[in-house]
Every structure is written in C-alpha cells, then in structure tokens.
Structure 1
Amino acid sequence: MKKLIWGVFSIFIILLLASCGSSTTGGVPQLQEDKTITTKLEIKEDGNASFTIKNETEKEKNLTYPSGQEIEYQLIDNENNIVYTYSADKMFTLALQEKVLKPNEEIVIPLDLQTELANVPVGSYTLIAWSTSNELKEQKEQVAYTWAGNEELESGISSETITVYQGDANAEYVEPYEIIIDPSGDVVRQIFEEIMVLDVGLIDYRFENNNTKLVLNMDSGLNNVQGSAGENMFIGTIVHSYFDNFPEVEEIYFEKEGESPVTLAHLVVSEPFTRDRFYSNSPN
C-alpha cells in the first residue's frame, strides 16, 4: 500500500515540475523566443544596399571591432569566384573600437554599390555582407544581386587635358593649370590625387540629388589643414577643380571618415559649397 501511495505521489511531483517548466496558452505549450543580435541585408530600388544590425534583447550588447572597418562585403559570380571585395582597395585605422547597442537599438550601414562596383562587369551575382565585429563576423547575410552598371556623370572633359586649380606661391588665391588624365578612368580620384598637396586621402565619394551634389569623404589627413590661409587654399583648390570639370554639380560637401560636419582650421563645414561663390581671392 505504501509503495502504491509513493508511486502516485511521485507521478504527481513529476507532472507538477513539468507544468512549471513551460508556459501554456489555451493548453498549448509556448517556447520562449531566443532573442539575440540579428543582421539583415537589403537591396534598395536605386541599386544600393543596406546592412542592419539590431539588438533584439532587453540588455545592452557590446560589439568589438579590431579596426576602423565596420562592414565587409563581397560580390560572387555564378562560378563562385570573388569578383569584388569592399576592403581590397581601402585602408582603415588599426585602433580597437567598441560600440554599445541598447535594447532594441539598430545600426543601419549603407552600402554604396553604385559607386563601389563601378569597375565590375554587368551581370548577376550573389552579394554577401557581414559585420567585422568579433561577435558577428561569422554571421553572414547574402542575397541575389543584379548589377546593371551605372551611368557615369558627364564631365566637361573633351580630351585628356583638363584644367584644375592650385594655390599660388604666396597662398593668396588659387590659379588654374592644366593636367593630363585618363578620361576612361575614375576622373574624380584622378583630380583629387593631382590637386592634393597635403597628406589628405580620399576614402570614397558619391553623387547625390540627381548628380547635382558631390560628397567627398576624406580621411584624418584633414587634420593637416592648418591656418586660415591653408584652409582657403584647400577649399578653393578642391571646389573650383570639380566645379570646372563637372558642369552638372551645383554643390560640393565634405565628410571626414563618413562623418559630418567637418572641422577645419577656422571653419566647421556643415553646409555644401555652392557654385555661385569663389572660395579664395581671384588673381584678377
């Protein structure tokens, strides 16, 4: 009799513990959702893309980056060959970085494919992207991507000889001079590399507002722009060199490592430079 009582009692305990281990709704067991950090890769209508990182938890999450690079992506052809890698032609700071994601916070990183893939043949590919953080670097996203190419912005270049600007010997004004370029190449970079006498690098650039706005994203070499005279020469050299060769451009804007506004010697660049002004003294 005692064995029977203990047997019934044991079964009751087991059933009680099982009922405490899961919640029920209408008698159906409900599993708890495994929330974590999610990533998502999306293609936009304009041919560019975005990579989203979201903290789906109710706690803060840390993301640690071994360098200044936050995103990596590749384009893979139908034969599984890598035809493009975002970081292949870029340099990033080597300093360790850390970001804190608050509960339900998300980071959206734009992928400027229309600019980055300029030299990639038109075709159907697989786009693979991932965060370079130590916590998410194995969490890769991929989508089918059709690269239709892009129409290059027409410039005023009719030959290999173009006019750009440089500061005069006394740093009082900018003056024009001629250079030889490759019209079939990246004209924006060729101009920048020619006119930049300071140790300032062009990370990337993009055209916006139907090609009427040129955004130049430069590196930390901007810290080398010193004094009001140097600042004026720097701005005038860049602005007039691009306005003269890209007649559709009405505004030029500066970024530093993807951030704005940009602080120069005595100026915070928070607005675009416009075509209707001269940005250093005229020699005339």
Structure 2
Amino acid sequence: MGRYVARRLLQMIPVFLGTTLLIFLMVNVLPGDPVAALWGDKPPDPAQMAQIKHDLGLDLPLWQQYLHYLGNLLQGDFGSTIAGNRPVIDEMTGAFPVSIRLALMAFVFEMVVGIFFGVLAGVKRGKMIDTGVTVFTLLVISVPVFVLGLLGQQIFGTQLGWVKPNVSESPTLGELLLPALVLGSLSLAYVARLTRTSIAENARADYMRTAIAKGLPQRRIVSVHLLRNSLIPVVTYLGTDIGSLMAGAVVTEGIFNVQGVGNLLFDALARREGTVVVGCVTVFVLIYLAANLLVDLLYAVLDPRIRYA
C-alpha cells in the first residue's frame, strides 16, 4: 500500500505542473492589460506602467513568470494582486473557508439523500417508488441550477421567511443551508441514479442469490453485501465531485451573495487579476488530486478483492 501511495504521489507531480501551466498560460493570453486597467478611463503613464510590471515580474517572458510562480508557490507564496498589491493568500483566506463549508454541506446532502433514494429505488425496482425517484431525478437534472436557486430564494426566503434570501458576510450554517441544498441538488440526482443502477445490477449477481439462499436477514443482505459492492462507482463520482462543488459554485454564490471562492474568481476575472485566478485554480487542482487518491484507496476498503501491490 505504501509503495502504491508513493507511486501515485509521484504521478501527481506532472499532472499538477501541466494543469497549473495550462491555466497560467490561458490567463495570461486573455485580451487587455490589467496594469493599464488601474487607470480606468484615463490614459496610463508609461513610466509608472513599466515600473509596476517590473515590480510584479510581468515584463518577463511567460516561461520565466511561470517558473518564478512555482518557486514562490513552494514557499507558500501565491503572489500579490495587481490592484492594491495585496497578497493573494489573504484574498483566498477570507473566501475559501466559506466555500469549503458550503461545499461540505452540499456534499453531505447529496451523499446521504442521494444514496438513500438510490438504494430505495434499486431495491424496489420496477415499483412505484422506483418510478417516483426516476421522475424526480430527471426533473432535477432538467432544471438549471440558477432556476432552482431563484425559486428557493423566492419561496423559502421571501414568501415563507424560513431562511434569509441573502447570506451575511460571515454566514452561519443555517444561512448556508439553502445554498447548499441548491448546490448539491444536481449531484444528488446523479448519485441517486448511479446508485439505483448499481444496486439493480448487483442484485442479480450470484453472491446475492447465495446470501438469500443462506437465509440471511434482508437488512444484512442489503447493507453488507449489496450496498458495499454497489458503492464503488458512486464513490468514484463523489470523489471527483468534491472539487466540482467548490469550483462550480459561482452561480450559487452569486444568487445568495455568498462571499466565497466563486465570487472571488468572478471578480478576479473581471479585473484581470491573473494571480488570484491561478492561485485559486492551484488549490482546486490539489483538492482534485487528493480526492482521487482517497477514492483509489477506498476501493480496497469497499471491495476486498482489490489489492494494491
């Protein structure tokens, strides 16, 4: 197991370098000059522009800028913003905790409710409850996230008054509940459908017929034999969805005024703050890589037949 983990960690290095290099190049080839934008509608001063670019290293070739960024990154320095010369780590420190809490709440919601509905539909396949879960998940998948967010905000926030329509700058878990439900709704539908399909497929396996022939209780058959072997594709999806919940929360955070990474990325792209965008994406890449490694290790826990040499 230790050798497998070490090999996977070594494989992450070229993936990390490739993704960060790609994002770095994409951000830097966007049209417009972020330094000239500091003057707004006024004509910029060429001397001051040259000095600012020199101080930030923006006058160097792109490959040198990237190597300089990697060198600072190894020391925990994500660079500084162009406007205000504020450390990027300070910008992310204020935004990431909010988005992490929002993503974790959405993740728990989609995992628990999605697996529950999927198991229920898979065990009762062909019956009314299976049809109801299928129709419900299709409906959720068909409705865009921004429509669900606006409907939830209007109904539960404005009309019923159960929650605040917009969250505060330091939101509590109660304020993040509705945005988390909206954010995790689409993934919940996919988890439920994936679990239902896997349950229905494994229910016809030979080991299930053997367990039933032995006279094992229905609860033990479902929880130990059926569910455990059916969760491998679900765990794969959930592992990759952790990063998607954080990176894809731009619309949800915009609707509910959540001051998280989504709003930070949107503002950074509007201001052409490339260092902020690259810094946030770098953290996303690390989250994706860690989640994929954790998923691979969970395979051996769920299925004893899987062993890592």
TM over 0.5: no
Structure having greater relative contact order (Cα 8 Å, sep ≥ 6): 2
Name the structure where helix makes up a greater proportion of residues. Answer: 2
Largest Rg, 1 or 2: 1
Name the structure where strand makes up a greater proportion of residues. Answer: 1
What TM-score results when the alignment is normalised by the length of structure 2?
0.21
